[in-house]
């Protein structure tokens, strides 16, 4: 019998399947665990590359269907996970109540910030805000992609300077040997 390799499942796909299993149980603690797995999928570069997701907003939108049954989009759950990072909070309080608490905190923070008069306030529409977040996410992704090239460019610049110095030395030596004036 010939040996055949069974295809391996990519790690992010396994995490996605595990998250689906946890999210289908509808228990607070497992909701937290499932969302943590989805956050890992969301942050996974292979997941983003396979689906050609170039920004955080697109990656979150790709996972919206996984949490739609809970009444929120994935970005909202990301905010809730950031605000309530402990599993215990999710076991003790229903996620809608966590969301209400999260909104109360945001309102209090906005109220505190709005009471400061040291900076002018600019308002924008949700569409402008989303467009700005999309633009920021694209810029952050592009910066992340270009970082490895920065080191290479710096190395090449150093090498070019070395070669220019060596070239000038060789021209000088040649001119001395031939007896001609040195030209740049």
Q: Is residue 135 part of a domain?
A: no
- Residue 26 — pLDDT band, cuts 50, 70, 90? low
Whether 11 contacts 50, CB under 8 Å: no
Q: In the chain, what is the straight-line distance between the N-terminal and C-terminal CA atoms, in Å?
A: 73
pLDDT of residue 137: 83
Q: Is residue 158 part of a domain?
A: no
pLDDT of residue 172: 87
pTM of the model: 0.56
How far is the C-alpha of 126 from the C-alpha of 75, rounded, in Å? 15
Tokens 């060596």 appear where? 166
Residue 52 has pLDDT above 80, yes or no: yes
- Residue 41 — pLDDT band, cuts 50, 70, 90? very high
Number of domains in the chain: 1
Where in the sequence is the domain holding 90, given as residue range(s)?
Answer: 11-110
Q: Tens digit of pLDDT for each residue in 162-179?
A: 888 888 888 888 888 887
Q: What is the mean pLDDT of residues 137-155?
A: 75
Token pair belonging to 145: 């992609």
Q: Is residue 84 part of a domain?
A: yes
Q: What is the mean pLDDT of residues 35-56?
A: 90
- Beta-carbon contacts of 38 under 8 Å, excluding residues fewer than 6 positions away, are 15, 16, 19, 23, 63, 66, 67, 74, 77
Residue 7 has pLDDT above 90, yes or no: no
């Amino acid at each position: 019998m010939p040996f055949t390799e069974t295809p391996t499942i990519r790690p992010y796909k396994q995490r996605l399947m595990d998250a689906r299993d946890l999210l289908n149980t509808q228990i607070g603690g497992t909701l937290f665990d499932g969302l943590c797995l989805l956050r890992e999928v969301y942050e996974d570069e292979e997941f983003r590359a396979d689906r050609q997701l170039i920004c955080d907003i697109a990656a979150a939108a790709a996972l919206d269907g996984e949490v739609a049954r809970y009444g929120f989009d994935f970005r909202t759950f990301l905010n809730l996970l950031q605000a309530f990072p402990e599993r215990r909070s999710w076991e003790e309080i229903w996620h809608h109540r966590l969301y209400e608490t999260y909104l109360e905190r945001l309102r209090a923070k906005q109220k505190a910030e709005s009471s400061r008069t040291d900076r002018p306030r600019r308002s924008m529409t949700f569409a402008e805000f989303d467009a700005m977040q999309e633009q920021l996410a694209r810029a952050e992704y592009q910066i992340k992609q270009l970082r490895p090239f920065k080191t290479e460019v710096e190395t090449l610049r150093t090498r070019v300077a070395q070669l220019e110095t060596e070239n000038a030395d060789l021209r000088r030596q040649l001119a001395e040997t031939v007896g001609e004036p040195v030209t740049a």
